[in-house]
């Protein structure tokens, strides 16, 4: 039996995963909370069985950076190994775009967070209960973290689920992060956006179930 361990992205909390978890009742699962809206929670991982680590957006980079438990397979949903452009990493988000977001966040954090979630398509998922300090730290992660080496050194199979119309992580950036890596399967959801686990949980569940069956 496989255990699914979920880590959400910037601005969300562990409840983000509920639509996808509801589609996979046959698999036990736990969800980490990075503290953007509530108290951080790193639940204990039950022993025994295969572990599939599932990260959405920033949550996938967080898994690679923190490595809080051992896993047998990785899943990146709307994920990335690096967020900002560099001399050897394009296309991605221009550094000045993120720096401008960080500066604006310092004076109007709730407005910036809500604007970002709206751009993601998170209608109905906005929150006035943000933890501003945690969100600010998350923006620094996006600016500073480069997990390409960590991913390249990881021997686990990787499933990549991407949205063809993702306004945050476009397909060209997804290909830059994951294209060419061995033991990687990539699926593109036509018409899909940045919130695939919430907006299209049945499609995500289909591919997660196929991964679990071959571990």
Give one DSSP letter per residue of 33-47, joined into a string: B-SSSS--B-PPPPS
pTM above 0.85, yes or no: yes
Residue length of the chain: 215
* Structural contact between residues 75 and 161, judged by C-beta atoms closer than 8 angstroms: yes
* Helix and strand counts by DSSP (H, E) for the chain: 9, 6
**Alpha-carbon torsion 159, 188, 81, 138, what sign?**
negative
How high is the pLDDT of residue 47? 85
Domain with 12, as residue range(s), is 2-214
How high is the pLDDT of residue 128? 64
How high is the pLDDT of residue 127? 64
Of 89, 67, 57, whose CA–CA distance to 167 is shortest?
Answer: 57
> Which positions of the chain have pLDDT values less than 50?
none
HSE on the CB side for 48, CA within 13 Å?
Answer: 2
Token pair recorded at residue 14: 């562990």
- Integer Cα distance of 173 and 100 in angstroms: 20
Which CATH number goes with the domain that contains 199? 3.40.50.1820
* Structural contact between residues 3 and 51, judged by C-beta atoms closer than 8 angstroms: yes
User: Phi and psi of 181, rounded to 5°?
Assistant: -75, 135
- Integer Cα distance of 215 and 212 in angstroms: 5
Of 82, 85, 78, whose CA–CA distance to 141 is shortest?
Answer: 82
Q: What is the pLDDT of residues 101-159, one digit of tens each?
A: 999 999 999 889 989 999 998 876 666 689 999 999 999 999 999 999 999 999 999 99
Domain count, the chain: 1
Dihedral, CA atoms, 138, 36, 39, 67, nearest 10 degrees? -40
């Amino acid at each position: 039996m496989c255990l699914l361990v979920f880590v959400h992205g910037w601005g969300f909390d562990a409840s983000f995963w509920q639509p996808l978890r509801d589609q996979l009742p046959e698999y036990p699962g736990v969800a980490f909370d990075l503290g953007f809206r509530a108290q951080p929670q790193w639940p204990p991982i039950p022993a025994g069985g295969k572990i599939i680590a599932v990260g959405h957006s920033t949550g996938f980079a967080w898994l690679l950076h923190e490595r809080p438990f051992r896993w047998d397979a990785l899943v990146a949903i709307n994920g990335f190994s690096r967020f900002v452009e560099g001399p050897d990493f394009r296309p991605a988000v221009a550094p000045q775009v993120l720096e401008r977001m960080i500066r604006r966040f310092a004076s109007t954090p709730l407005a910036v967070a809500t604007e970002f979630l709206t751009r993601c398509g998170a209608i109905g998922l906005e929150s006035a209960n943000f933890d501003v300090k945690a969100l600010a730290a998350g923006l620094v992660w996006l600016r500073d973290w480069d997990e390409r080496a960590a991913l390249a050194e990881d021997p686990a199979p990787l499933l990549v689920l991407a949205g063809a119309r993702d306004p945050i992580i476009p397909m060209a950036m997804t290909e830059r992060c994951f294209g060419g890596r061995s033991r990687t399967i990539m699926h593109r959801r036509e018409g899909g956006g940045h919130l695939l686990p919430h907006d299209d949980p049945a499609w995500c569940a289909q591919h997660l179930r196929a991964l679990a069956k071959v571990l």
